[in-house]
């Protein structure tokens, strides 16, 4: 059981569709390793009939189940809010930072975190890939494209800026263009800037994180049920055998 949970943590961290979410992975891996160690204590305790080790195991396991339960509830609460918004006559959705939970927003609003994520996004070539696919796409065809959350948020200016399209990552400011959205002035045609400083880019990242965490929460529930069953069995066995072990 410890093994599967430990591997679960590492498996989950490999599932990222973007490397750039790594900054949230550490707790998951630490939890997996911790469960592994506790399980080892349980196995050693029961094999070698070390009574105190089993007590420690049962106590820590109980706390762990509580912790995992809280963590799972937290994950559901944090990923409850936020979704891409459909834009009329566009194949892609747009993403607004304010739609996501405050806790997640704080994570990406921190300059320290965002600087790391931004350089990761710049290296990841998500916007370059958009150009490879459709650098000569006509504007009508580009508007019909399905873009990933990160591509929509980070690689093009927001729809309400009313910029004129030249290529997916090259847009011209028009006299009629709006500046109401702060993202509009954050936009630059420089391939290293684009909309990487936009809040829509942060929202696009949060949309990915949200989807991944939903998956984590479901896996957590399965692990929880499993842990509770194993724990109950362990408790009963310990109670029944206690007299024989003195």
Ligand X SMILES: *[C@@H]1O[C@H](CO)[C@@H](O)[C@H](O)[C@H]1NC(C)=O
For ligand X, give the closer residue by CB, 128 or 170.
170
Between 35 and 186, name the residue whose CB sits nearer to ligand X. Answer: 186
Say if residues 142 and 168 touch (Cβ distance below 8 Å).
yes
The answer for 139, left when phi > 0, alpha when psi is -120 to 50, beta otherwise, is alpha
Sign of the CA dihedral with 124 first, then 126, 129, and 135 last: negative
Residue 155 C-beta: closest distance to ligand X, Å? 13
User: Which residue's CB is nearer to ligand X, number 148 or number 169?
Assistant: 169
**Shortest Å distance, C-beta 181 to ligand X:** 21
Tokens 């550490």 belong to residue: 26
Across 36-46, b (16+ Cβ under 10 Å) vs e yields bebbebbeebb
Give least dist CB 179 to ligand X, A: 20
Residue with tokens 């009574």: 51
CB 166 to ligand X: min, Å: 5
* Residue 28 structure tokens: 């998951």
Q: How far apart are CA 24 and CA 22, in angstroms?
A: 5
Residue nearer to ligand X on the CB measure, 189 or 197: 189
3-state secondary structure of 85: strand
Nearest residue to ligand X, by Cβ distance, number only? 170
- Minimum CB separation of residue 16 from ligand X in Å reads 29
Q: Measured from the CB atom, is 57 or 171 closer to ligand X? A: 171
Nearer to ligand X, 137 or 189 (CB): 189
List residues near ligand X by CB under 6 A.
166, 170, 189
- For the bound state, the minimum distance from the C-beta of residue 207 to ligand X, rounded and expressed in Å, comes to 27
Measured CA to CA, the distance from residue 189 to residue 218 in angstroms comes to: 40
| Tokens representing residue 86 in the block | 């459909």
């Amino acid at each position: 059981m410890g093994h599967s949970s430990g591997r679960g943590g590492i498996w989950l961290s490999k599932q990222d569709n973007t490397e750039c979410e790594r900054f949230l992975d550490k707790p998951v891996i630490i939890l997996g390793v911790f469960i592994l160690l506790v399980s080892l204590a349980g196995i050693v305790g029961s094999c070698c009939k070390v009574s105190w080790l089993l007590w420690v195991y049962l106590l820590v396991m109980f706390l762990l189940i509580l912790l995992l339960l809280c963590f799972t509830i937290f994950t559901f609460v944090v990923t409850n809010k936020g979704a891409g918004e459909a834009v009329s006559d566009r194949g892609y959705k747009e993403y607004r930072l304010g739609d996501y939970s405050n806790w997640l927003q704080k994570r990406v609003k921190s300059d320290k975190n965002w600087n790391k994520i931004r350089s990761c996004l710049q290296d990841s070539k998500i916007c370059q890939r958009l150009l490879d696919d459709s650098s000569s796409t006509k504007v009508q065809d580009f508007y019909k494209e399905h873009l990933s959350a990160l591509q929509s948020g980070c690689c093009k200016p927001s729809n309400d800026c009313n910029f004129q399209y030249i290529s997916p990552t090259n847009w011209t400011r028009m006299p009629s263009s709006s500046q109401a959205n702060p993202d509009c002035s954050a936009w630059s045609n420089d391939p290293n800037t684009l909309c990487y400083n936009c809040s829509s880019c942060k929202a696009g990242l949060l949309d990915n994180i949200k989807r991944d965490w939903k998956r984590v929460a479901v896996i957590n529930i399965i692990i929880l049920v499993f842990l509770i069953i194993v724990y109950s069995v362990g408790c009963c066995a310990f109670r029944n055998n206690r007299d024989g072990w003195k």
